Amino acid sequence: MSNTQTVRLVAGVGLAVLVCGGLSVSAQTAPPLGTLQHFGVLGHSGVTGSTGLGTLVQGDVGSSPTASISNFPPSSVAPGFEVHYTNDLAVQQAHADAIAAYNFLAAEGPGTVLAAQLDGAVLPSGIYSFSGGAADLAANGTLTLNGPGIFVFQVDSTLTANINSNVIGTADPCSVYWRVGSSATLNGITFRGNVIADASTTVGSGSNVTGRAIAGTGATGAVTMAGAGGNTVGGCASSFSVTEVPALGRFGFASLAALLALAGFVLLKRLSV
């Protein structure tokens, strides 16, 4: 294969990836998580685990810029994950990525406006916001999320899942995003989705969260796991890989494809002169 043919192939592959590699814009889009994808719990001003049996976090745990981690142990992380007791580079990047994800979700707009009370609601994928800004799931209430696709909940003030409530359904919990403009309080039996709160996130005694508990994309905010433990948080995080290239997570697949295509076309032009 000649040099010109090789460059044409590189440019073509880059362009094909750029066009077909996920740049289409749908009604709702999952935010790029970068380093945040490895975390199950992330705070701004600290993370407090539960006591007693402790809470098992299926994902990394950290806090940035204030690296205050308490009650780990008895709380713990699943094998393959790490408690970051210092404000290391990974936690710093995860915090920056959490802010970017929060802003990305906010930019997707209000979508369908719902009443504040979610008890009894059965929802397909989409973008949802709330009249009055707050979202509430009543005690013993049930919210059902069904079907494939991305769920984005724009909660401009507080999110509250009351005692004995449940979020159920066939939706993938890792494809559910709750952007919370103030604080989130999760006191139900089960809750699904990635909670990204501008202020604090509290996981109540015995509450199980399938997703992420993220706090402090604003000026401050801690993650608190209350009670005597025996519950779990996480299930959507991936562990770090020694072969991982951090730049790819930061700039994204589409940016890499664009650079590849541009480089190919520049080289092709030079060779044709």
Sign for the CA dihedral angle at 251, 257, 261, 267 comes to positive
CB atoms within 10 A of CB 21: 15
- Greatest CA separation for the chain: 73
Q: Does position 91 have pLDDT exceeding 50, yes or no?
A: yes
- pLDDT value, residue 267: 47
Q: Output phi, psi for 200, to 5 deg.
A: -95, 160
Q: Does position 185 have pLDDT exceeding 80, yes or no?
A: yes
pLDDT band at 214 (very low <50, low <70, confident <90, very high): very high
Block residue for tokens 């000649």: 2
pLDDT band at 23 (very low <50, low <70, confident <90, very high): very low
How far is C-alpha 145 from the chain's CA centre? 17
More confident residue, 227 or 23: 227
The two tokens of residue 176 are: 């559910």
- pLDDT value, residue 271: 52
